[in-house]
Amino acid sequence: MTDPTATERAAEPALRIGTAPDSWGVWFPSDPRQIPWARFLDEVQAAGYTWIELGPYGYLPTDPHHLEDELGARGLRLSAGTVFTGFHKGDDQWQRAWDQALDVAGLASKLGADHLVVIPDLWRSDATAEVLESRTLTDEQWSRLAAGHDRLGKALLDEFGVRQQFHSHADSHVGTYREVTRLLDETDVRYTNLCLDTGHFAYYGGDNLRLIRERPDRIGYLHLKQVDPELLFEVLKNDVPFAEAVPQGIMVEPPAGVPALGPIIDAVSAIDPEIFAIVEQDMYPVARLDQPLPIATRTREHIFSCTRHARIA
């Protein structure tokens, strides 16, 4: 006899849940404090995930056949790659962005990934905490930023069939609710949409559910992350650089932080159940190499305990 509860659940829209090298403390292509890539892939499989992101280009093998073999041996699949842009700085930034796209989107698309997560340059370095430029943009810089991302989004779609997903970020020019919605207002829905990182958006007080409700057509991808709400006030009050806040534990293991992930997954699954929801917990550098696996496993278990709208495959 068929279980009606199981049948009902199977018929519900559900997001594809995955994880990323970031959840293992990986920020750079090579760093002795980071977990070796083969161990990372082994532990992703052990934690119960199917989908992963590429992470910083060069961390995982860049030969498509080698990477395909390594992923296939573990039953893993690729959802997206990541590049970094600085279009607000001027026209000379186009070549830098496109050179990255040729590498990253070129590799990711060969393995079936349909998305490229694009992170804007930070005004304060996430490696050294050095202040690099003003923390706000002029109107002219906003225009350059928007035009550059639309150009990139169109080129990615035309060349690789890959969709650009813009990632707002702590210590970047696009972080608050108003900044994110300004970006959306000044860009084309065909070419520039959001990788809504729930933790980074909450970092500057953004209401994730409000944004999803008000701009449902611009949500193309999710990063699932929580921020420590008490530590956040200390970080903002004392102007602590993001690079220093991360080792202090600003991004925490769910469900210890905000926002709650279940309602966000529920809301986005109603928009499009094919959207990816990739777990990230900024934690570079990890205190111990054996730290990420149990956190990743518990996080997956938490997600599936707090929503009916999640799936692995």
Q: What is the pLDDT of residues 31-69, one digit of tens each?
A: 999 999 999 999 999 999 999 999 999 999 999 999 999
Q: Are 149 and 173 in contact (CB under 8 A)?
A: no
Nearest 5°: the CA angle 73, 83, 201 is: 100
- pLDDT tier at 222, thresholds 50, 70, 90: very high
DSSP single-letter state for residue 122: B
Q: Is the pLDDT of residue 250 over 60?
A: yes
Residue range of the domain that includes 23: 13-311
CATH at 220: 3.20.20.150
Q: Is the pLDDT of residue 12 over 90?
A: no
- Domain count for the chain, please give it: 1
- pLDDT tier at 284, thresholds 50, 70, 90: very high
- pLDDT tier at 11, thresholds 50, 70, 90: low
Report the DSSP pairing between strands 51-53 and 15-19.
parallel
Q: Is the pLDDT of residue 203 over 80?
A: yes
| 6: in domain | no
Per-residue confidence (pLDDT) for residue 126, from 0 to 100: 87
- Strand-pairing partners, residue 19, are 52, 279
User: Could you give the CA distance from residue 208 to residue 60 in angstroms, rounded to a whole number?
Assistant: 31
Q: Is the pLDDT of residue 158 over 70?
A: yes
| 1: in domain | no
CA distances from 95 to 58, 65, 104 (A): 19, 27, 14
Report the DSSP pairing between strands 251-252 and 163-166.
unpaired
| 17: in domain | yes
DSSP, collapsed to helix, strand or coil, labels residue 136 as: coil
pLDDT average, residue stretch 140-154: 98
Q: Is the pLDDT of residue 179 over 50?
A: yes
Report the DSSP pairing between strands 226-227 and 251-252.
antiparallel
| 154: in domain | yes
Q: Is the pLDDT of residue 7 over 60?
A: no
- Strand-pairing partners, residue 219, are 194
Tokens of 293: 């696996």
Per-residue confidence (pLDDT) for residue 34, from 0 to 100: 97
Q: Is the pLDDT of residue 2 over 80?
A: no
Run of H or E residues at 300: helix 292-306
Q: Is the pLDDT of residue 8 over 80?
A: no
pLDDT average, residue stretch 89-97: 96
Q: pTM of the entire structure?
A: 0.95
User: Could you give the CA distance from residue 209 to residue 213 in angstroms, rounded to a whole number?
Assistant: 6
| 2: in domain | no
DSSP, collapsed to helix, strand or coil, labels residue 86 as: coil
Run of H or E residues at 80: strand 77-85
Q: Is the pLDDT of residue 1 over 80?
A: no
As a whole number, the mean pLDDT across the chain is: 96
Q: Is the pLDDT of residue 6 over 50?
A: no
Q: Is the pLDDT of residue 3 over 60?
A: no
Per-residue confidence (pLDDT) for residue 127, from 0 to 100: 86
pLDDT average, residue stretch 205-217: 98
